[in-house]
Amino acid sequence: MYQFGYRGKRRIHTKRAILKGRNLFSRCLRGDENNGSKIAIHAGDRSYSYADLAENSARYANVLAGLGVRPGERACVYVDKSIENVFLYLACLRAGLVYQPLNPAFQPAEVDYYLADASPAIVVCSPENESWVRAAAGRFNIKQVATLGRDGTGALVDEASAASTDFQARECDGSELACLLYSSGTTGRPKGIRLSHDNLASNIETLVDIWGFTADDVLIHALPLFHVHGLFVALGCALTAGASLHFLEKFDGKKIIDLLPESTVLMGVPTFYTRLLESPGLTRAACDAMRLFISGSAPLSENTFNRFQQRTGHVILERYGTSETGMSASNPLGGKRKAGSVGRPLPGVSIKIAGAGGNETVANAVGELLVKGPNVFSGYWNLKDANQAAFTDDGYFRTGDLATWDDDGCISIVGRAKDMIISGGENIYPKEIEQCIDRLEGVRESAVIGIDDADLGERVAAALVTTPDFQSGEDEVIAALKTQLAGFKVPRQICFVDELPRNTMGKVQKSKLKGVFY
């Protein structure tokens, strides 16, 4: 087992340790309290100071309290990304409510599941969904429904405009829930992930330190607000450091490149970087003011890592986390960042890579990545059996991710346990094959899956996204891979696709690829 700590002055930890109470808002998200006039968020043609965040989150907290939503109850938030959504998030924390964000792309049947499972006290939805959301709320005995639109309209906004700007943040125990975030449901029905004030605050404070965030930073925020990456990592780091944000509704390559000269940090999923590389505007000169590009939520290919460095002169910092743990490992701010590696465990975080029987692996051997630390969630919502299966006897969370250590103690993720292919009795890890394919000239990215085979059990198949000038066919690709991989690892089938199916956080949805091979 490796443990790793970054040395350096811990500005934020020292400052926050003297505060009373453990509320995430009081500890971290108040931001630059000594300079309330400073701009916190630029959102299109609107800008908001830290004083604006404090006043508006107090207004929203007063509205929620006036509606009878009590500390510890869930506030289900099913709205588009907006500055008002940020006010609402901060308000829930201040009031001691449990913030439950949902992807606004969810359909009514999906929303029904989350309402039934979480039993929120209030649902906040966009005005255009109010009618059917009210009907759904009625079926589940949810008494309060409020509206909030992406354009700053809605009943909640109207009520907040007349509310008081005075609201004392509720002091709470750090183990109390701050957020109920649902898993993506890739291995069954989505599970509610219980994240406490201490889970989130400890992770945010650590990331601010190791990534060197200060009040001088300007972060480009183009991520959604219903996921760990955009809500806790990006927004959390910026506000805790008293930095500023450029707040984009969604990824827009042109806007991001236009903002680079007046920004210092970009957090994104790998798709951000592959799409930025398609723009001629991505140059060294455009990135001159930037100090840090961070990638996460899905594996970053070595091809993208190397192309981005060659084009911009910047080395992308890749990190690792899950919804249940927040961030657990990172490449260093200073020092060498390795392509294909997510770096070392964060300070205070313990990581094991366990092989068969739970024994820890040696360097370069594949095993399941296990995590323990103050960042790790307390368990799933109302799922006793799932909680018992999710943790080892000594308290480590089983991530389901397969990984290796290298000789320097750096971690590489090789895939998900459920994605491992067993062909003719051989264990095959898709990431190894994808890395070989991605190194072929003219290949932008690839995804390797196992498909049913009467003889082998599963056979290896690969989907490729290529450049317009790519001329090779299936036979040529297979021939090239035979020079780099053992025969049992070489794909038996190759298909060419315009793009890989992805979820909102850029993770490839491999289950949707199987149909192209049958």
Q: For the residues 492-506, what does the mean pLDDT come to? A: 87
The percentage of the chain sitting over the pLDDT mark of 90, rounded to a whole number, equals: 70
Q: Is the pLDDT of residue 458 over 90?
A: no
Contacts of 8 (CB under 8 A, 6+ apart): 209, 210
Q: 């965030």: which residue's tokens?
A: 213
3-state helix/strand/coil string of 325-340: CEEEEECCCCCCCCCC
DSSP codes of every residue in 245-256: EEE-SS--HHHH
Q: For the residues 448-462, what does the mean pLDDT come to? A: 86
pLDDT of residue 137: 97
Q: Which tokens go with 33?
A: 């309290």
Of 11, 21, 17, 15, nearest to 33 (Cα)?
15
Of 242, 329, 245, nearest to 12 (Cα)?
242
> Which stretch of 5-19, 70-84, 87-101, 206-220 has the lowest confidence by average pLDDT?
5-19
pLDDT of residue 32: 63
Contacts of 311 (CB under 8 A, 6+ apart): 277, 282, 283, 284
To the nearest 10°, report the CA torsion of 227, 230, 235, 236.
50
pLDDT of residue 17: 36
Burial class (CB in 10 A: 0-12, 13-18, 19+), 392: middle
One-letter identity of residue 213: F
pLDDT of residue 71: 96
Q: For the residues 126-131, what does the mean pLDDT come to? A: 97
Q: For the residues 130-149, what does the mean pLDDT come to? A: 97
Q: Is the pLDDT of residue 108 over 80?
A: yes
Contact yes or no for 428/420 (Cβ under 8 A): yes
Quote the mean pLDDT of the chain: 90
pTM of the model: 0.84
* Coil, strand or helix at 219: strand
* Coil, strand or helix at 25: helix
Q: How far apart are the first and last CA of the chain?
A: 43
pLDDT band of residue 3 (cuts 50, 70, 90) is very low
Which domains does the chain carry?
Answer: 23-37+49-172 (3.40.50.980), 213-315 (3.40.50.980), 420-517 (3.30.300.30)
Q: Of 497 and 22, which is predicted with more confidence?
A: 497
Q: Is the pLDDT of residue 110 over 70?
A: yes
Q: Is the pLDDT of residue 38 over 70?
A: yes
pLDDT of residue 217: 97
Q: Is the pLDDT of residue 245 over 90?
A: yes
Angle, helices 108-118 vs 130-139, to 10°: value is: 40
Contacts of 267 (CB under 8 A, 6+ apart): 219, 220, 221, 223, 229, 230, 233, 234, 294, 295, 296
pLDDT band of residue 63 (cuts 50, 70, 90) is very high
Contacts of 340 (CB under 8 A, 6+ apart): 302, 305, 412, 435
pLDDT band of residue 447 (cuts 50, 70, 90) is very high
Give the span between the Cα atoms of 331 and 344, in whole angstroms. 6
pLDDT of residue 74: 98
Contact yes or no for 364/402 (Cβ under 8 A): no
3-state helix/strand/coil string of 271-296: HHHHHHCCCCCCCCCCCCCCCEEEEC
Q: Is the pLDDT of residue 15 over 80?
A: no
pLDDT of residue 184: 67
Give the span between the Cα atoms of 179 and 381, in whole angstroms. 11
pLDDT band of residue 42 (cuts 50, 70, 90) is very high
pLDDT band of residue 475 (cuts 50, 70, 90) is very high
Q: For the residues 41-69, what does the mean pLDDT come to? A: 95
pLDDT band of residue 196 (cuts 50, 70, 90) is very high
Give the span between the Cα atoms of 278 and 442, in whole angstroms. 13
- Pairing type for strands 265-268 and 218-221 reads parallel
pLDDT digits 0-9 by tens, 410-427? 999 988 777 878 787 677
Contact yes or no for 189/381 (Cβ under 8 A): no
* Coil, strand or helix at 267: strand
- Pairing type for strands 144-147 and 122-125 reads parallel
Burial class (CB in 10 A: 0-12, 13-18, 19+), 157: buried
Q: Is the pLDDT of residue 9 over 80?
A: no
Q: For the residues 288-292, what does the mean pLDDT come to? A: 97
> Which stretch of 91-105, 132-146, 295-309, 358-372 has the lowest confidence by average pLDDT?
358-372
